[in-house]
């Protein structure tokens, strides 16, 4: 046979390259096609159901939408006259900051934050949500309150989004004491940023004396605010016991500063700390969605609460004068070693029924038809993320590892997590219960919770932009199903 001519070899080479390119395009095309989220889907039908080394519950086979107990049945008390009744009306409104800047906001009752809801422990709380004109629909999620699943306010999982002209009633017993907040969980990355949130405080039955003030941080159109303004004043007489409830409603970490007085951190995420020591010049980072309560006795000169890196502040003092200047912090608060130990219902040495890993990374791929660097949980891009399946009564351990470059404030609905360790260092201070745990880049936390609130619960990053980019998964109780659907067609989009 004659040797192949150069031209022929060239043609074969070109042909081979074309074949490879076509194959690559076909593979990418299939990845793109497969990544598109369906028009309508049930959150229980996606992802990898994991059992954490525990039993695979027999009634979980098939984990379809139609089997088992419906989340809709897991309601709060339906009888009884409420001890506290509120109406929250969602509507678009302009709000004016003291700088004169006008924000086209979405509000509850024409303002943002919406009305502060204050109730007492044990109260039966009833909240009627009405949507006036918020196009995409609205829900209310009670962030940090471990309410029955049907009251959890997640569009497409526990209810349908409430459209303009519609209403929805939430009823639950206020069991926990502490600082919480409420926000829409429909298109939350946009609607919360635009103002659909407020604070809910559950006071103990015997009310503490002194001044009790909730301060919510939120950034509107790039302007950091506290309780909806760049500056605020509160009159407090010297010698008064003060409790400040600092709430971060932004999608990124905010660091609060308290200047002019020593203080104690009384609570994290609505749970009181044990044996909190006195701090001064200590910066208080609060996870997106997290809360920190601070206590002090009002000194003769004023106190200033600010957001680090901004001029935004609230002054507390006996006169109407300006708040004192910010005293730059010299240290940063770390709950891992703060306070003193106290008994907990379980600890690191307990026998766990299930142990899960949640490892967050970033990798190239497709998310809902878009190529790019995507968030992944345990290597999968949403919806190929895990579902942690648990059974009622299980003691569950979760290792949350952040192997990505961002910080992720991880929020589990319906439960509180006991922090056991960070990067292998055990928690040695007060018991540290969290519902919104800031996991910094490179960090790894071991946390635990008792599965005692049946339902299908979101477990997601409270950087709500990250959640909308796929940093979302669920903890699901075996045998519980949801009749609600997510997607364009039902118009439910919790993230």
Kindly tell me which of 91 and 183 has the beta carbon lying closer to ligand C2O: 183
Instruction: Please state the closest distance from residue 471 (CB atom) to Cu ion, in A.
Output: 5
Binder among 63, 91, 173, 185 for ligand C2O (CB under 6 A)? 185
CA distance linking residue 401 with residue 422, whole number of Å: 10
The verdict on 474 binding ligand C2O (CB under 6 A) reads no
The answer to whether 418 and 341 have CB atoms below 8 angstroms apart is: no
The stretch near ligand C2O (CB under 6 A) out of 315-323, 377-385, 457-465, 477-485 is 457-465
Binder among 63, 462, 466, 474 for ligand C2O (CB under 6 A)? 462
Copy the structure tokens of residue 380. 């999968």
The verdict on 290 binding ligand C2O (CB under 6 A) reads no
The stretch near Cu ion (CB under 5 A) out of 39-47, 93-101, 328-336, 466-474 is 466-474
- Please work out the total of residues on this chain that contact ligand C2O, with binding judged by CB under 6 A: 10
463 binds, among Cu ion, ligand C2O, none (CB under 5 to 8 A by kind): Cu ion
Binder among 194, 291, 460, 466 for ligand C2O (CB under 6 A)? 460
The verdict on 469 binding Cu ion (CB under 5 A) reads no
Per-residue three-class SS string for the chain = CCCCCHHHHHHHHHHHHHHHHHHHHHHHHHHHHHHCCCCCECHHHCCEEECCCCCCCHHHCCCCCCCCEEHHHCCCCCCCCCCEEEEEEEEEEEEECCCCCEEEEEEECCECCCCCEEEECCCEEEEEEEECCCCCCECCEEECCCCCHHHCCCECCCECCECCCCEEEEEEECCCCEEEEEECCCCHHHHCCCCCEEEEEEECCCCCCCEEEEEEEEEECCEEEECCECEEEEECCCCCEEEEEEEECCCCCEEEEEECCCEEEEEECCEECCCCCCECCEEEEECCCCEEEEEEECCCCCEEEEECCCCCEEEEECCCCCCCCCCCCCEECCCCCCCCCCCCCCCCCCCCCEEEEEEEEEEEEEECCEEEEEEEECCECCCCCEEEEECCCCEEEEEEEECCCCCEEEEECCCCEEEEEECCEECCCCCCEECEEEECCCCEEEEEEECCCCCEEEEEECCHHHHHCCCEEEEEECCEECCCCEECCCCECCC
CA distance linking residue 410 with residue 436, whole number of Å: 5
The verdict on 193 binding ligand C2O (CB under 6 A) reads no
Residues 434-463 that bind Cu ion (CB under 5 A): 461, 463
Kindly tell me which of 173 and 193 has the beta carbon lying closer to Cu ion: 193
The verdict on 466 binding Cu ion (CB under 5 A) reads yes
Instruction: Please state the closest distance from residue 128 (CB atom) to Cu ion, in A.
Output: 33
458 binds, among Cu ion, ligand C2O, none (CB under 5 to 8 A by kind): ligand C2O
The verdict on 450 binding ligand C2O (CB under 6 A) reads no
The stretch near ligand C2O (CB under 6 A) out of 4-12, 98-106, 295-303, 458-466 is 458-466
Binder among 63, 91, 171, 183 for ligand C2O (CB under 6 A)? 183
Kindly tell me which of 245 and 462 has the beta carbon lying closer to ligand C2O: 462
462 binds, among ligand C2O, Cu ion, none (CB under 5 to 8 A by kind): ligand C2O
Q: CA angle, 151 as apex, 150 and 157 as ends, to 5°?
A: 50
CA distance linking residue 188 with residue 115, whole number of Å: 19
The verdict on 289 binding ligand C2O (CB under 6 A) reads yes
- Phi (first) and psi of residue 402, to 5 degrees: -105, 95
Instruction: Please state the closest distance from residue 13 (CB atom) to ligand C2O, in A.
Output: 54
Instruction: Please state the closest distance from residue 174 (CB atom) to ligand C2O, in A.
Output: 18
173 binds, among Cu ion, ligand C2O, none (CB under 5 to 8 A by kind): none
Residues 107-146 that bind ligand C2O (CB under 6 A): 141, 143
Exposed e or buried b per residue across 271-300, where buried means at least 16 C-beta atoms within 10 angstroms of its C-beta: bbbbebeebeebbbbbbbbbbbbbbbebbe
Kindly tell me which of 192 and 242 has the beta carbon lying closer to ligand C2O: 192
243 binds, among ligand C2O, Cu ion, none (CB under 5 to 8 A by kind): none
The stretch near Cu ion (CB under 5 A) out of 104-112, 251-259, 318-326, 471-479 is 471-479
Kindly tell me which of 236 and 247 has the beta carbon lying closer to ligand C2O: 247
Residues 384-413 that bind ligand C2O (CB under 6 A): 411, 413
Instruction: Please state the closest distance from residue 408 (CB atom) to Cu ion, in A.
Output: 3
Instruction: Please state the closest distance from residue 360 (CB atom) to Cu ion, in A.
Output: 7
Binder among 185, 243, 354, 408 for Cu ion (CB under 5 A)? 408
Q: Which residues lie near Cu ion (CB under 5 A)?
A: 408, 461, 463, 466, 471
Q: Which residues lie near ligand C2O (CB under 6 A)?
A: 141, 143, 183, 185, 289, 411, 413, 458, 460, 462
């Amino acid at each position: 046979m004659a040797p192949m001519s150069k031209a022929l070899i060239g043609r074969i080479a070109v042909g081979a390259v074309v074949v490879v390119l076509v194959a690559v395009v076909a593979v990418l095309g299939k990845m793109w096609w497969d990544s598109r989220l369906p028009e309508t889907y049930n959150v229980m039908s996606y992802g990898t159901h994991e059992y954490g080394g525990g039993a695979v519950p027999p009634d979980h086979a098939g984990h379809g939408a139609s089997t088992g107990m419906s989340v809709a049945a897991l309601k709060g008390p339906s009888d009884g006259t409420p001890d506290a009744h509120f109406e929250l009306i969602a509507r678009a409104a302009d709000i004016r900051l003291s700088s004169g800047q006008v924000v086209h906001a979405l509000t509850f009752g024409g303002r943002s934050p919406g009305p502060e809801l204050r109730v007492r422990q044990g109260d039966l709380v009833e909240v009627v949500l009405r949507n006036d004109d918020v196009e995409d629909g609205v829900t209310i999620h009670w962030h940090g309150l471990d309410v029955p699943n049907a009251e959890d306010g997640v569009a497409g999982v526990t209810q349908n989004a409430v459209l303009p002209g519609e209403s929805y009633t939430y009823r639950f017993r206020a069991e926990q004491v502490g600082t919480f907040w409420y926000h829409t969980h429909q298109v939350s990355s946009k609607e919360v940023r635009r103002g659909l949130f407020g604070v809910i405080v559950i006071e103990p039955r015997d009310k503490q004396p002194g001044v009790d003030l909730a301060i919510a941080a939120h950034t509107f159109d790039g302007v950091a605010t506290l309780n909806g303004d760049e500056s605020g004043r509160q009159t407090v007489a010297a010698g008064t016991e003060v409790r400040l409830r600092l709430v971060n409603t932004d999608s990124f970490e905010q660091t609060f500063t308290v200047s002019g007085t020593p203080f104690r951190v009384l609570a994290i995420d609505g749970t009181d700390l044990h044996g909190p020591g006195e701090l001064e010049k200590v910066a208080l980072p609060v996870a997106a969605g997290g809360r920190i309560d601070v206590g002090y006795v009002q000194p003769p000169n004023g106190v200033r609460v600010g957001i680090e890196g901004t001029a935004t502040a609230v002054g507390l003092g006996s006169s109407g004068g300006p708040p004192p200047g910010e005293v730059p912090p010299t240290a940063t608060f770390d709950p891992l070693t703060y306070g003193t130990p106290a008994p907990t219902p379980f600890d690191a040495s307990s026998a766990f029924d299930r142990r899960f890993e949640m490892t967050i990374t970033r990798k190239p791929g497709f998310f809902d038809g878009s190529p790019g660097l995507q968030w992944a949980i345990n290597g999968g891009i949403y919806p190929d993320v895990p579902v942690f399946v648990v059974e009622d009564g299980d003691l569950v351990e979760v290792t949350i590892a952040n192997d990505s470059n961002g910080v992720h404030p991880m929020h589990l609905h319906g439960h509180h997590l006991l922090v056991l360790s960070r990067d292998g260092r055990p928690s040695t201070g007060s018991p540290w219960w969290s519902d919104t745990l800031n996991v910094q880049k490179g960090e790894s936390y071991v946390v635990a919770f008792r599965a005692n609130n049946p339902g299908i619960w979101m477990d997601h990053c409270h950087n709500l932009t990250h959640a909308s980019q796929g940093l979302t998964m669920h903890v699901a109780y075996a045998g519980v199903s949801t009749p609600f659907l997510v997607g364009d067609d039902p118009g439910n989009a919790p993230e």
